[in-house]
Amino acid sequence: MSALLPTYGQRAIEIKQADGSYVTDTTGKQYLDFVMGIAVCNTGHRHPAVLEKIEAQLGNVWHTSNLYAISGQERVAEKLVAGTHLTRAFFCNSGTEANEAAFKLIRKWTGKTKIVSFTKSFHGRTFAMLGATGQDKVKAGFGPMVPDFVHAPFNDSAALDFIDDETAAVWLEVVQGEGGVVVGDVAWFAALQAKADEHGVKVVIDEVQTGIARTGTRYAFEQTPLKPDVVTLAKGLGSGFPVGALVTAPGAEAVFEAGSHGSTFGGNPLAMAAAEATLDVLFEDAALAHVQAMGAYFKSGLERFVDGDTFIDVRGLGLMLGLVATKPVADLINRLRDAGLLVVAAGPDVIRFLPSLFVSQQEIDEALAIIEQVVTKEMVQ
Ligand SMILES: Cc1ncc(COP(=O)(O)O)c(C=O)c1O
């Protein structure tokens, strides 16, 4: 009998060792990891530059609290905003926390409460973020929700009608991750931004899953006409060390004052060492070009499975890709695992691929060969 609360389903394997794109379980079986902790280990497992920086920090100081200056926060904030219109950052420990901070900021900044988010979105599991999330299954049993979230259809011009003078913010993912790797159209994003501008509505982009180079640019919004007032980050920011961030555009500087918000752990020296090293290796032109090249290569490799019968589409940006099936993919994902490839579902019928951003062409070929072998067997059965 487990002493754990049963918040997670049955877990078939435990990973004992990890290196680059590969992990080994407690029985010694090796897997090609195309989950990467669900878009967390964007630098691959135990990237040497990140490892070196964390080890050096371990020998100095681990935690001091935000009672004292933490120069790593200044450096990481600089790296997050450099070359963008964004200007300030606040550090926390997870994506939900980053979004929660954004929610508080938006309320105080605008003095309004109505927030337009989208069906099938996922923004976290605190009360405000359950409200923002456009999936009933995560809310079941927890009502009543925080009021004044309305859910508009994603990538649909009807969404524009939800935005009015009463609206504080429109809150979205550029690629809905948990919702099925759904990419919004550039024209729709442009119309959304224009409508937000027309009504003085803030734009909040949840880049918890799409950020930190995952889609081939530092942030996914850079591939759109969106100009967010607020960006939230987590997952890939610490290469596996828990780090979240709220990043803001001009105008937000004075919304929070001392005491408005805070965190015991947020931005601690170890977290900042992990984040600084992560950004040093990923926010580099060569790294971003690699993500774009490998993303295009992998996407075209996956497209060969699209037969209009079992699989109907490949969608996504960069190295955040989804193979869309016509039936539930849970069993298939288990069979891929048994054959040595770790992948994760996005919704019931999409196989999501989130490899290391330093994945090689050879590793992609290996993944495609495993998929081929498992899918062919499936079709024969
Ligand atoms: C887009 C998005 N926002 C927020 C979250 C929540 O992040 P966390 O689990 O770090 O709280 C997730 C997690 O999957 C996510 O994909």
Task: Confirm or reject: Cβ of 207 under 6 Å from ligand 1.
Answer: no
pLDDT at 1 over 90: no
Domain residue extents for the chain: 15-46+285-380, 48-282
pLDDT at 381 over 60: no
Task: Confirm or reject: Cβ of 234 under 6 Å from ligand 1.
Answer: yes
* Cα(264) to centroid(ligand 1), Å: 20
Task: Confirm or reject: Cβ of 178 under 6 Å from ligand 1.
Answer: yes
Task: Confirm or reject: Cβ of 134 under 6 Å from ligand 1.
Answer: no
Beta strands, E only, the chain: 15-19, 22-25, 30-33, 88-92, 114-118, 149-152, 167-172, 175-176, 182-183, 202-206, 230-233, 244-248, 311-317, 320-325, 341-342, 344-345, 350-353
Instruction: Give the model's confidence band at 376: pLDDT under 50 very low, under 70 low, under 90 confident, else very high.
Output: confident
Cβ proximity of 234 and 98 under 8 Å: yes
In this prediction, residues 239-256 reach a mean pLDDT of: 98
- Residue 178 Cα: closest atom of ligand 1: 16
List residues forming the annotated binding site for pyridoxal 5'-phosphate: 95-96, 122, 206-209, 264
pLDDT at 225 over 60: yes
Probe target for ligand 1 pocket from 175, 182, 206, 208, with the most ligand atoms within 8 Å of CB: 208
Residue whose pair of structure tokens reads 């929070």 in the numeric block:
256
Task: Confirm or reject: Cβ of 276 under 6 Å from ligand 1.
Answer: no
In this prediction, residues 271-298 reach a mean pLDDT of: 98
CATH number, domain 48-282, options 3.40.50.300, 1.10.357.10, 3.40.309.10, 3.40.640.10: 3.40.640.10
pLDDT in tens, 343-353: 999 999 999 99
φ and ψ of 92, to 5 deg = -140, -155
**In the chain, what percentage of residues exceed pLDDT 70?**
99
List residues forming the annotated binding site for N(2)-acetyl-L-ornithine: 125, 263
- Residue 242 Cα: closest atom of ligand 1: 10
pLDDT of residue 340: 98
Residue whose pair of structure tokens reads 């994506």 in the numeric block:
95
pLDDT of residue 380: 53
Task: Confirm or reject: Cβ of 123 under 6 Å from ligand 1.
Answer: yes
* Cα(32) to centroid(ligand 1), Å: 23
Residues 363 and 30: their CA atoms lie apart, in Å, by 13
Probe target for ligand 1 pocket from 96, 126, 214, 232, with the most ligand atoms within 8 Å of CB: 96
Architecture, CATH, for domain 15-46+285-380: Alpha-Beta Complex (3.90)
pLDDT at 378 over 80: no
pLDDT in tens, 352-373: 999 999 999 999 999 999 999 9
Torsion of CA 223, 226, 232, 235, to 10 degrees: -20
Q: How many CB atoms lie within 10 A of CB 372?
A: 13
pLDDT in tens, 38-72: 999 999 999 999 999 999 999 999 999 999 999 99
Using CA positions, which residue lies closest to atom 9 of ligand 1? 95
pLDDT of residue 379: 58
